[in-house]
Each structure stands twice: as C-alpha cells, then as structure tokens.
Amino acid sequence: MAQYSKLVENEIQEIAGRYKLEITGYEPIEQGASNSNYMLSTKRNQYILTILEFEPARAAKMSSVLLLLAEYEFPAPRIHKLANGEVLTKYRGKPVLLKPYLTGQVIKDLDEHKVRQVGAALARLHEIPAPDYLPDRNAYLVETYPAVLAKGIAPEYKNWLRQRHDSLVQDIPAGLPIGLVHGDIFYDNILFDEGKFKAILDFEDVCKTFKVYDLGMAAVGVCTDDTKIVLRKVRALVEGYQQVRLLQEKEKQSLRSFVEFAAVLTSAWRFWKYHIDAPDAGKSERHMQMVDIAKDACAIPTTLFMNTVFSG
C-alpha cells in the first residue's frame, strides 16, 4: 500500500473537524500505489480521506475535474466539501481530499459483458468537454518516462523503452480526436455493483489528449490475460464504446498501436515506482508484465486485430 503519510487518531480527528465530521472509527486502506488513503466512519456514513502525494497544482486540477464530472452526472467519486466550502485542505503541506465512500466491488477478471459496460462508460467520459486547464499529455509521458531514462540503471530495458516510445510516437497520425482522458483505466479503478458498472475511480492522471489513447489503456487494463491481449475482450470494449461514440477510421487504424503504447508507458511507470520512487525488491520485476503485454500487442498482425475487433 502507498501509505506514505501515516496518521494517528488525533490527526485524523483534527482533519475531520475541518469537515464538521464526528469520526467513530478509521482504518488505512490497504490498496493503491500512489497516495495514502483512510476509511473514516461516522454514525451515518463512511468517507475516503486521501492524502495526495503530488503537487498542489495537480491536485487542484483533479478536484476541479471531479466537480465537473458531478455537473455532468458522470459516475465517479464526489467531493465532500470543507465547512468553508473549499474542496481541498492540507496536511503537512500535502493536499487532502475527502470523498463519500462508494460501495461496490473491484473485479479483476472482467467478462465481456462487464468490459462492454466499461467501454460505454469511457465513451461517456470522452463526450464531456475537456477543460483548458488540463495538461495536454499523460503524466506517464512527461514525468515517469523521462525519469526512467535519466537513471543510470537497466540499460537493456531502457533501450527497449526508448526505441518503442520513439517508434510509436512517430507513427501517431495527425488529427486524432482529443478530449478529457482518464489515463489509467485498469480493473482496480472500476467499481461494479451486482454485475453492473457503477463508477470509474482515481482521476489523478486525468489530462487532455488523444481519446484513443484512453481506449488503448483500457484494453491493457481490462482486456488482458496475464501477459496476453484478449482480442474478444477488446472487441467487447470497442462495442460498448461505440454504443455511445463512434470511432473515426484513423482511430480504428491506430488502436492496436495505442494498446502497445499504453503498455509501454505503464511499464515505465512501474519501473519508476519500484526502482526509483519507492524501491521494492518484491515488486522490482512488475514492469516486465507490461513489457510482455506491449510485445504481444506489437506482434498481433494488423489484419487479425482489425478483423477481430471491428468486423461486423
């Protein structure tokens, strides 16, 4: 768990007091790899207290997006505002966000019916106008990828990473639709309730970039079997997506490359996380799963991909 900021009871109570909440219990949430999260209980409700382990400006943009999603009634976490009406407070200089707890289940192995629901939800997200204040590139691309290249370790992996990144970026066609992109659609950022899609979570990587990049990331996050792309699930993802938003022909033609690109950048994030940011010998090879997925995506013949995912 990313428990970077450890709170004791009096600190929890002090922060909760800013929201006029009387806490009856709390416990750390044993999941997540980027922030510190606590479950807070009151007599009536439960809340998620998140200490964001990144800069305040980025936290402000993310919280603004959550408010925007609420305006459009998009299924995502809502912000519980402070007593003074603000959405963010601070703990030891770090941004703090409070959200009502969403009930539901995280399901690792999604069947095609559930994947189709994810696709439809992602398309709904992409239909929401993207605010101008969002960054125009995913954080993996501007932060973790260059940080990995700058480190003098793992030369073989870095050579592969640089080569695939450069090749894939060069092949991105001009004029792809740009919009509000989640940037990290993995199964553990999706909630279901009795088999029905309920919400998308964790908008900390939200940005304004190619919509098909988000679709490629979702394919990596919910359409793989360990190290392999499951094309029938990618087809289900696209079917659900196109129930809401039709893909342009150039998006269809570039989707396979964006699946690979998403896996490449996720491998860089994992390498950065467990070798540089928070070294962990037990997780030091986690990036290799994404390397294998990227290689599998690259090896799929274009005709096979297109016929399987888009035929009919």
Per-residue CA distances from 240 to 116, 124, 128, 234 (Å) = 4, 10, 17, 10
Q: What's the DSSP call for residue 19?
A: T
What is the reported pLDDT for 3? Answer: 45
Where b means 16+ CB within 10 Å and e means fewer, 287-307 reads bebbbbbbebbbebeeeebee
Low-confidence stretches of the chain (pLDDT beneath 70): 1-4, 31-34, 312
Could you please report the per-residue DSSP string of 23-75?
-SEEEE----SSSEEEEEE-SS-EEEEEE--S-HHHHHHHHHHHHHHHHTT-S
Q: Measured between alpha carbons, how far is 80 from 142 in angstroms, rounded to an integer?
A: 30
Q: What pLDDT score does 43 carry?
A: 93
The pairing of strands 89-91 and 46-51 is: unpaired
Q: What are the respective helix, strand and coil percentages of the chain, to the nearest 5?
A: 50, 15, 35
| pLDDT number for residue 311 | 84
Q: Measured between alpha carbons, how far is 73 from 77 in angstroms, rounded to an integer?
A: 11
- Tell me what pLDDT residue 222 has: 98
Q: How many CB atoms lie within 10 A of CB 198?
A: 17
Length of the chain: 312
Domains of the chain: 9-100 (3.30.200.20), 112-310 (3.90.1200.10)
